[in-house]
A and B are shown apart, each in its own frame.
Chain A
Amino acid sequence: MATLETTDTSADAAGDGVRRRDFINIAAVSFAGVGAATVILPLVNQMNPSADVLAQASIEVDLSAIKEGQAVKTIFRKQPLFVRHLTGAEIAAADKVDPSSLRDPQTLEQRTVDGKKQWLITMGVCTHLGCVPLGAGEGEVKGEFGGYFCPCHGSSYDTAARIRKGPAPKNLEVPKYAFKSETIVAVG
């Protein structure tokens, strides 16, 4: 029958300095901690958008059918995207505003591509709480600044889709996009 022949009473139990057992404890717990963190990472990451969701993350829009003054709603990343063909008057109205007076100061140039000032491409997602603003569809109200109007909490955007009035903090987001030709634009 095995019995404990010796108990460590001498140097180890005296409590001065790091004992071998302290080192083993810290090393073991640290190792287990790193292991746990490694396991948690995929468990957390699985919540992020999956590959098929990300695969739909870019689209192409044909601009040839959009007449001046018209706008279309399409879907980009499961959210509405507004593509708007601004009229000369709308561009003038946007340029007339002093950007420094705005809540989120930006000029129309900064929100469009060089030489394509008439193509205003923005997300159709109100920057307040994510509703879809009105103004892109035929006959929808455009709000008092002639751009977009969010019916949820009354945010009004101007013809450059900049926030002018209401609770939204930012201008309508301009996604990353590039013109592939005169009439085809790739978003995303």
Chain B
Amino acid sequence: MSFPWAKHYEPKLPLMKWLDDRLPLPRLVYNAVGAGYPVPRNLNYFWNFGVLSGAALGIQIITGIILAMHYAANGAIAFDSVEHIMRDVNSGWMIRYAHATGASFFFIVVYLHIFRGLYYGSYKAPREMVWLLGLVIYLLMMATGFMGYVLPWGQMSFWGAKVITGLFGAIPLVGTPIQTWLLGGFAPDNAALNRFFSLHYLLPFVIAGVIILHIWALHIPGSNNPTGVDVKGPQDTVPFHPYYTAKDGFGLGVFLIIYTLVLFFAPNYLGHPDNYIPANPLSTPAHIVPEWYYWPFYAILRAFTFNIFGIPAKLLGVVAMFSAILMLFFLPWLDKSPVRSGNYRPTFKKFFWILVADVLVLGWCGGAPAAEPYVMISQLAAAYYFAHFLIILPIVSRMEKPLPLPNSITEAVLEGKSGSTLSTSTQA
């Protein structure tokens, strides 16, 4: 499962040898994230975001376990218990802000990780399973993040829960029973809060499990690289440790600086002030918005304001929103170009940046009120989003004439065209 020239684990201490003979855990770690894993020598800083995502998950699990020690999942006291954490629990304010800010940063690094995979074609053969498992992780993150946002039981928590479970109510015939079943009542209440807490605690560990599969699937072919060219020999790789442990360590430092800056100086910047108002089932906030990381999909949901062929707009919006994510599962087969890296695909690259802009526009619309001109802009942007994957990408991957690829990673590195930035190879 690795390259033949990968270094073999040789225990230095007698204790480690004793352990390795009985339970080869040191060997597993050595081969997974140690010197036993050969990695292309030309990875740029975009390859940091996998490790950063793992670090963000670690922060969430540690702070989350602590918060669960002080939080009470009961509709009557949940809001007060969060205020108790903020005011009374020693360092509680910091731990809660670390968790709330950490959720946003988890999504930031995961979005950059996905961006990297899209640009450098990391989803293509033979890494399809890595991509698919990554999407599973992303879906689990969305579910976990949503349920976590409900727990403080503020106005946005309550109405977010109502709107999101209301999405299931759009399903014909069985919609309302499903919504009632999900909530354990006719509206969000104690039953919903308790089950969301239970699942919010469970899912991060499921995510950790799928991450293991994600890394396992990655280590079969090995990491992609900025040229997208396959590893051809030992000269193309360096051992993960110490080369990339050092590079990832540096990236981790930068990440933590930015994260703590937000954590200590603008902890509420990425949240919504209405969530500091206790949940009130009789009063809807004027402007319900989910957390920022759902905005692009929320915009697609709201883009459908008209019925098509008698299918109600609400159902269309829900179907479109879920399709926007599920479609990504077919990406490895929609993009048929054998060239992986966007650096060697001039036409793809242009459309790729348009897609990035399109998703940012969708995000901007998703956070805006449901009024013109945002509705019209989200309709156009949503249409383009689907067109990119279903029309543009298949056509581009057939028609495009890619730039000449380097013969090997080493050749690219020695010619200074390792693709270490996003555009160095355009003139190749």
Q: Is the CB of A77 within 8 A of B187?
A: yes
Q: Which residues of B contact A152 (CB under 8 A)?
A: 163, 284, 287-288, 370
**Nearest-Cβ distance from residue A109 to partner chain B, whole angstroms:** 25
Known contacts A128-B314, A169-B313: A79-B186 contact under CB 8 Å: yes
- Is B159 positioned at the interface, with any CB of A under 8 Å from its CB? yes
Q: Is the CB of B184 within 8 A of A47?
A: yes
Q: Which residues of B contact A154 (CB under 8 A)?
A: 370-371
Most buried by A among B162, B186, B283, B305: B186
Q: Which residues of A contact B185 (CB under 8 A)?
A: 49, 53, 77-78
- Is B11 positioned at the interface, with any CB of A under 8 Å from its CB? no
Q: Which residues of A contact B281 (CB under 8 A)?
A: 75, 78-80, 132
- Is A88 positioned at the interface, with any CB of B under 8 Å from its CB? no
Within 8 A of B (CB), among A69-86: 73, 75, 77-80
- Is B96 positioned at the interface, with any CB of A under 8 Å from its CB? no
A151 partner, pick from B195, B284, B305, beta carbons under 8 A: B284
Question: In the complex, what distance in Å separates the CA atom of A36 from the CA atom of B312?
Answer: 38
**Nearest-Cβ distance from residue B194 to partner chain A, whole angstroms:** 11
Question: In the complex, what distance in Å separates the CA atom of A50 from the CA atom of B163?
Answer: 22
- Is A129 positioned at the interface, with any CB of B under 8 Å from its CB? yes
Question: In the complex, what distance in Å separates the CA atom of A153 from the CA atom of B286?
Answer: 9
Known contacts A47-B182, A47-B184: A53-B284 contact under CB 8 Å: no
Q: Is the CB of B181 within 8 A of A48?
A: yes
- Is B291 positioned at the interface, with any CB of A under 8 Å from its CB? no
Q: Which residues of A contact B248 (CB under 8 A)?
A: none
- Is A167 positioned at the interface, with any CB of B under 8 Å from its CB? yes
Question: In the complex, what distance in Å separates the CA atom of A15 from the CA atom of B180?
Answer: 51
- Is A131 positioned at the interface, with any CB of B under 8 Å from its CB? yes
Q: Is the CB of A131 within 8 A of B312?
A: no
Question: In the complex, what distance in Å separates the CA atom of A84 from the CA atom of B307?
Answer: 30
Interface size on A, residues (CB 8 A): 27
Q: Which residues of A contact B181 (CB under 8 A)?
A: 44, 47-48
In the complex formed, the residue of A with least CB distance to B165 is: A130
The A-B contact count (CB < 8 A) is: 83
A130 partner, pick from B162, B283, B286, beta carbons under 8 A: B162
Q: Which residues of A contact B314 (CB under 8 A)?
A: 128-129, 167-169
Within 8 A of B (CB), among A19-61: 44, 47-50, 53, 57
**Nearest-Cβ distance from residue B74 to partner chain A, whole angstroms:** 14
- Is B55 positioned at the interface, with any CB of A under 8 Å from its CB? no
- Is B282 positioned at the interface, with any CB of A under 8 Å from its CB? yes
**Nearest-Cβ distance from residue A80 to partner chain B, whole angstroms:** 5
- Is B345 positioned at the interface, with any CB of A under 8 Å from its CB? no
Q: Which residues of B contact A131 (CB under 8 A)?
A: 159, 162-163, 284, 288
Within 8 A of B (CB), among A104-139: 124, 128-132
Within 8 A of B (CB), among A126-176: 128-132, 150-154, 167-169
Q: Which residues of B contact A129 (CB under 8 A)?
A: 162-163, 166-167, 288, 314
Question: In the complex, what distance in Å separates the CA atom of A49 from the CA atom of B183?
Answer: 8
A167 partner, pick from B167, B191, B286, B313, beta carbons under 8 A: B313
Q: Is the CB of B286 within 8 A of A151?
A: yes
Question: In the complex, what distance in Å separates the CA atom of A53 from the CA atom of B183?
Answer: 11
In the complex formed, the residue of B with least CB distance to A132 is: B284
B189 partner, pick from A78, A80, A124, beta carbons under 8 A: A78
A-B contact pairs, 15 of them (CB 8 A): A47-B181, A49-B180, A53-B185, A75-B282, A77-B186, A78-B185, A131-B162, A131-B284, A132-B281, A132-B282, A150-B284, A151-B284, A152-B284, A167-B302, A167-B370
Given contacts A49-B184, A131-B159, 20 further A-B contacts (CB under 8 A): A47-B181, A47-B182, A47-B184, A47-B195, A53-B185, A75-B282, A78-B186, A79-B186, A124-B282, A129-B166, A129-B167, A129-B314, A131-B284, A132-B284, A151-B284, A153-B370, A167-B302, A167-B313, A167-B314, A169-B312
Interface of A with B (CB < 8 Å)? 44, 47-50, 53, 57, 73, 75, 77-80, 124, 128-132, 150-154, 167-169
